[in-house]
Amino acid sequence: MQTTPRPKSQRPSRRQGVRAEFRRRTLGPISVVPTLLTLANLMCGFAAIHYASRGDVTTAVFGWNAITVGGCLIFLGMFFDAIDGSVARLTRSTSDLGAQLDSIADVVTFGVAPAFLMLQLVEAYYGSGADADATVVGPGVASVYGKAVWAIAALFVCGGALRLARFNAETVSHDEADHRFFKGLPIPGAAGAVASLIVLHQHLLYTRFDATESLAFDRIAALTIPVIALLCGLGMVSNLRYPHVVNRYLRGARDFGSLVRIALPLVTAVWFLQETLAAACTLYALSGPLGLLRRQPDGEAGPADTMPPDDFEMDAAAFEMDAAAEEPK
């Protein structure tokens, strides 16, 4: 039995198919507030790179050194990065677009900006005794140390990008239950460790050391901060487990001892802001290796093993509370 072919005018043309596919792929409405917060994070990273490029000069921002301003802008971007996801979940406007935009902003603010800030710190202080116009850091310089520092900065950026790509690929959903622990050092944690030490270096340089002591302190910092950046870069691509600070420790009810442990660093920061910030960020970067040693005293467990019993109990309690809240009244 032969079928009568459809008239040519009734057949869907290729152009119509392309238009239908284009309409299907077009984005729907975009939530304004979370997107603006993510873009603010991106702008902080761009501004941090701008100020870091100026080197060791005084700025109009509170009279601070340009490197100090760049480090503080990284922490301002960290604030926007911490609240944009919470605002999106609060307004029930999480989307794949927001997740991808957040990753792009994080690569700039927490990947490129800290690495460039480290390069400018070494450039400004390690080469302070050489020609002012000479470049001491880069892939084409004569110094082996200058080449190594540039390679460390590039590794830090690449490690951060790989860390974010792995997180996006492995994250099941946008729910808070999937954001209690991270595999590998989170890129904001790595950026905080590097930026906080740079800010502390500038603070001590201008408040604690005289001209004679400052040169030795500059050289020590130029040697140690790149090593820390290297370790953070490797930590981002490792399988070490790190807690999500906000979701793990700040959300929900906590006992009195936990409240005291949270309040003490905040009180200490009133008098010793730079020192407390550097200590907190460094301890968080070290919490992954230290937690691994604590969980495997006899070498049985691995870094990607299941959560310890207390974490299971807390997650079970949280699940029961959510289920009770969702029951019809």
The string of pLDDT tens digits covering residues 174-192 is: 565 556 778 899 999 999 9
- Say which residue the tokens 């999500």 belong to: 244
Task: Extract the tokens encoding 7.
Answer: 């008239």
**Higher-confidence residue: 211 or 49?**
49
Does the predicted TM-score (pTM) go above 0.85? no
Q: What is the DSSP string of 186-241?
A: -HHHHHHHHHHHHHHHHHHHHHT--HHHHHHHHHHHHHHHHHHHHHHHHHHTS--E
State mean pLDDT over 16-27: 61
Residue 304 pLDDT greater than 70, yes or no:
no
State mean pLDDT over 17-30: 61
**Higher-confidence residue: 118 or 253?**
118
Give alpha helix (H) positions in the chain.
14-25, 32-52, 66-90, 96-106, 113-125, 144-170, 187-207, 211-236, 245, 256-271, 273-295, 309-326
pLDDT in tens, 91-105: 777 777 888 899 999
Q: Which domains does the chain possess?
A: 31-292 (1.20.120.1760)
What are the C-alpha distances in Å from 252 to residues 47, 207, 240, 249, 255?
35, 40, 25, 8, 10
Task: Extract the tokens encoding 280.
Answer: 């907190």
Cβ atoms of 119 and 158 within 8 Å: the answer is no
CA–CA separation, 105 and 52 (whole Å): 18
Say what percent of the chain tops pLDDT 90: 35
- Say which residue the tokens 């080197």 belong to: 55
* Burial of 282: CB neighbours in 10 Å, binned 0-12, 13-18, 19+: middle
State mean pLDDT over 15-20: 64
Adjacent-strand bridge partners of 58: 65
Residue 300 pLDDT greater than 60, yes or no:
no
